[in-house]
Amino acid sequence: MKKILLVMISLLFFISCFENTETLKSENRIFRTGDKYYVYYNGNTFELPKDLYLTKTKKVEQYFTTGILKQLNIGVLNKAELLNDLNKYFPSGIKYITENEQPVGSVSIPVTTVGSEKHVDSIKFEKIIVALPQGNDKGRAEEEKEETVVNINPEETLKGKKIEVLNANGIDGFAKNIGEKLKAKFGLEYNAENYTKPEVMNYVVVRKLNETEVEAIVSETGLKYVKVFEDNNVKPEADFIIITGNDAQINFPVEILTLGNESAVSEKIQGYKPKTVKTSEFKGEKLDSINDIKVIYNPADIYTAKLIAKSIGGGVKLIADNEINGKITVISKN
């Protein structure tokens, strides 16, 4: 009888833990995976350097246990302290602390260096946080997202905007041709001239335009590869800058992870010369359980990722991942 009771109690405990794990998937939380630290906040995952100071005296890694305590699954001794210090940066609050989750994609939290110490760049991070859906508004914001995008018409909002088209590929008239194409389409003003040095990659410097406007411009240029570039010294008066490289010379791998030897996605993005990789999982996630096509990219390559997603068609999920550099990964089980 005692054995039966013990089995029933163990089963109930297991079910309870499973339900709690499922519930936490949508909750704001911090978790440690190996020696890396992540915060899941309002549907976005931020990576925190282990030597990042959350207060004047305490780094992220110092809140967490090591050695025998870690082996005993005791991750944090003073949970209230950690959550309280995190909540100074996350307005909707961080509620839970977990261990060994596998983030599908993450973006590094903005950091500023003071002497030899890393601290959160509060100004940059606040701008990121303000742009995110907050608390209970998240679901409604997701539902309204498509409608909001539709209401922005770049052919209207770009009229009169001033952009710079800087030619870095040495091809005569290249910048002017792009400028004229954009002027005819959107009624914007442009200045075309040579860039200060040769470049192979195409770059954009985004200052005053929103994401939908940038997408429209990039799509109209006909460029295949575009990387976000930050430089306050280049044409500081311009709303937006394009630095044109040469698509034909760009070596930027696009890989397709799929269950078979071939993928239907490959035909749709042949212009990017994708490489198909046969595999059964990605970062611990089984491909046969994935229904959506995912395009995983470094934040600097967001507009290349959007061009690829547009070529693939509907049902594509874009995921920013700071750990991916110099390539874009497409996940499709078929």
Confidence of residue 15 (pLDDT cuts 50, 70, 90): very low
Asked if residues 241 and 192 have their Cβ atoms less than 8 Å apart, the reply is no
For each of the domains in the chain, give its residue range(s) and CATH number, in order of start.
24-137 (no CATH), 154-248 (3.30.70.2390), 252-331 (3.30.70)
Give the C-alpha separation, 307 to 199, whole Å. 21
Predicted TM-score (pTM) of this structure: 0.60
Confidence of residue 18 (pLDDT cuts 50, 70, 90): very low
pLDDT at 136 over 60: no
Listed residue (87, 213, 222, 205) closest to 156, CA to CA: 213
In sequence order, the 6+-apart residues with CB closer than 8 A to the CB of 215 are 303, 306
261 vs 143: which has the higher pLDDT: 261
Residues 306-319: tens digit of each pLDDT: 999 999 987 788 88
- Tens-place pLDDT, residues 180-233: 999 999 999 999 999 999 999 999 998 888 888 999 999 999 999 999 998 888
What does the mean pLDDT of the chain come to?
84
DSSP string over 227-279: EE---TTSSTT-SEEEEE--GGG----EEEEESSS--HHHHHTGGG--EEEE-
pLDDT at 106: 80
Cα dihedral sign for 20, 25, 30, 35? positive
* pLDDT at 71 exceeding the cut of 80: no
Q: Give the C-alpha distances (Å, rounded to integers) separating 271 from 77, 127, 265, 315.
A: 53, 35, 12, 20
* Confidence label for 255 from pLDDT (cuts 50, 70 and 90): very high
Q: Which residues contact 190 (CB under 8 A, 6 or more apart)?
A: 162, 163, 164, 165, 179, 182, 183
- Does an H or E element contain 151, and which? none
Dig out the tokens for 151 from the structure.
């209401």
